[in-house]
């Protein structure tokens, strides 16, 4: 049940290291620049922290990468889809568009990890509605 506290806690919060790049900035296409970053989903906000230099261990060696947000995305009114092959040659890529017209690609080599992020972000968008 969605009213089960365990379910709510699981779906309200998620964190981990993902590969991501921005592809649009308020409707304007920009050059891709993939980087690995510590990523936190909480309270309808998805936050990408600064480049973790490709690993959680790297982030631990550079703690400021865990505390300095690089992008903070408001998920209300956002859309999430699996990215087409035209968007990236990488596997397991999600395409997230914000209401302000920014677009991010999110990727992880593990299909299980990216599927869990897909569910968590989609649940968050669904809970927020479009008002
Ligand atoms: O959409 P593109 O241009 O094929 O994206 C690739 C570029 O961002 C590329 O950077 P340079 O334009 O500096 O070469 C990246 O290295 C590639 O990873 C991008 O393609 P993928 O398929 O990895 O998203």
Rounded Cα distance between 107 and 43, Å, is 22
| ipTM metric | 0.88
Whole-number Å distance, alpha carbon 90 to ligand 1 midpoint, is 10
Q: Show Cβ contacts of residue 17 under 8 Å, excluding neighbours closer than 6 positions.
A: 36, 37, 38, 39, 52, 55, 56, 59
The reported pLDDT for the residue numbered 105 is 98
User: CB–CB of 16/113 below 8 Å?
Assistant: yes
Per-residue pLDDT of the chain (131 residues; tens, 9 = 90+): 556 666 555 544 799 999 999 999 999 999 999 999 999 999 899 999 886 555 567 667 777 766 788 899 999 999 999 999 999 999 999 999 999 999 999 999 999 999 999 999 999 999 888 77
Whole-number Å distance, alpha carbon 7 to ligand 1 midpoint, is 37
Mutate-to-test residue for ligand 1 from 19, 20, 29, 32, highest number of ligand atoms within 8 A of CB: 32
The reported pLDDT for the residue numbered 2 is 56
The residues with which 70 forms a beta bridge, in sequence order, are none
Whole-number Å distance, alpha carbon 80 to ligand 1 midpoint, is 21
């Amino acid at each position: 049940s969605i009213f089960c506290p365990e379910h709510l806690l699981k779906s309200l919060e998620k964190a981990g290291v993902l590969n991501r790049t921005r592809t649009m900035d308020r409707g304007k296409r920009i050059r891709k620049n993939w980087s690995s970053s510590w990523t936190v989903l909480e309270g309808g906000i998805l936050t990408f922290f600064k480049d973790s230099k490709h690993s959680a261990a790297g982030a631990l060696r550079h703690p400021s990468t865990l505390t300095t947000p690089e992008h903070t995305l408001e998920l209300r009114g956002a859309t999430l889809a699996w990215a087409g092959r035209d968007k990236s040659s990488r596997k397991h890529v999600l395409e997230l568009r914000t209401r302000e017209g920014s677009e991010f690609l999110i990727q992880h080599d593990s299909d299980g990890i990216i599927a869990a992020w897909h569910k968590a972000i989609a649940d968050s968008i669904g809970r927020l509605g479009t008002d």
